[in-house]
Amino acid sequence: MDFGRPIQFGYFVLPDSMRPLRPLQLAIRAEELGIDVIGIQDHPYQRRFYDTWTLLTAIAMRTNRVSVFPDVANLPLRPPAMLAKAAGSLDVLSGGRVELGLGAGGFWEAIKAMGGPVRTPGEAVSALEEAIEVIRLVWSGGRGLHFDGKFYQLAGLNAGPVPPHPIGIWLGAYRPRMLGLVGRAADGWVPSLGYLKPQEMADAAARVDDAAREAGRDPAAIRRIANVAANLTADEIAELAIELGFDTFVVGGLQEDAEAELREFLENVAPEARELVAEGRESR
């Protein structure tokens, strides 16, 4: 199902601190080359990785146009009120260029090592559902905010600053219950193609659409953002856009000469993909 959104391309920057300024330099160069979105993974228990929000802030302050987002934020590592505060603050500072990729959690032993909670799959999804409510409540900028959930609470919070644009909550989701949550409550869905076979991706997209309709929502209200490898072809991108409604493709897996590979993708694959999508839309 094609929702007719403009096709955008993103770059998945590895937050590796071994070459301290390299991630920042690559993000700046990606914007110069025409990238629309910068995503950063959130695995701070990897000792060589930067903190995601610190790097996103550095990138946002050194760029002018690209949107930035955690791809995706590991919820158990941060209270949702603080996560909302971080995203809202950076949205103000960047002039409205922040989105919030969000996941229920993974690598539980590593999370535990950092002092985070260990949750069952069911608990993780329930906590995420609560967190979405808390985050949106905080973004409202209200005073004396209260929330009494099983996993999270607010006790009279005076929230702010208010984000200057409606920050999208994009969920990283693969399993049925998570996909249902995307359809019911999220602004976007951000899977990685490497985790799903083509038919599995189609089935997952259908679950999102069905859940949205059951909740009285238009599936078109949910953006589809795919993490993809740099060897994805223009035909494959066009199929994902026309058949499943994906509009943004975040390219990762680049090797040592990342700038050259990204330039090659943007100069050859991206224009062809946009042309194929336009042709496909005209023929329908």
Domain ranges of the chain: 8-282
Does the pLDDT value for residue 255 go beyond 80? no
pLDDT band at 253 (very low <50, low <70, confident <90, very high): confident
> What average pLDDT does this structure show over 21-38?
98
| Contact between 26 and 11 (Cβ < 8 Å) | yes
pLDDT surpasses 90 at 16: yes
pLDDT tens column, 74-133: 999 999 999 999 999 999 999 999 999 999 998 999 999 999 999 999 999 999 999 999
Q: What is the pLDDT of residue 89?
A: 99
- Which pLDDT value is given to residue 231? 93
More confident residue, 106 or 218: 218
Q: From CA 183, how far away is CA 61, in angstroms rounded?
A: 33
Q: What is the pLDDT of residue 113?
A: 97
Which residue, 199, 182, 252, is CA-closest to 30?
A: 252
| Position 256 pLDDT exceeds 80 | no
Overall fold of domain 8-282: TIM Barrel (3.20.20)
Which residue in the block uniquely carries the two structure tokens 């959690």?
Answer: 105
Q: What is the mean pLDDT of residues 28-54?
A: 97
Q: Is 73 helix (H, G, I), strand (E, B) or coil?
A: strand
pLDDT at position 22: 96
Helix (H, G, I), strand (E, B) or coil at 98: strand
Summarised one tens digit per residue, pLDDT across range 136-195 is 999 999 999 999 999 999 999 999 999 999 999 999 999 999 999 999 999 999 999 999
Residue 222 has a pLDDT of 98
pTM for the model stands at: 0.97
What DSSP character marks residue 68?
E
Averaged pLDDT, 227-241: 97
What percent of the chain has pLDDT above 90?
Answer: 96
Residue 1 scores a pLDDT above 90: no
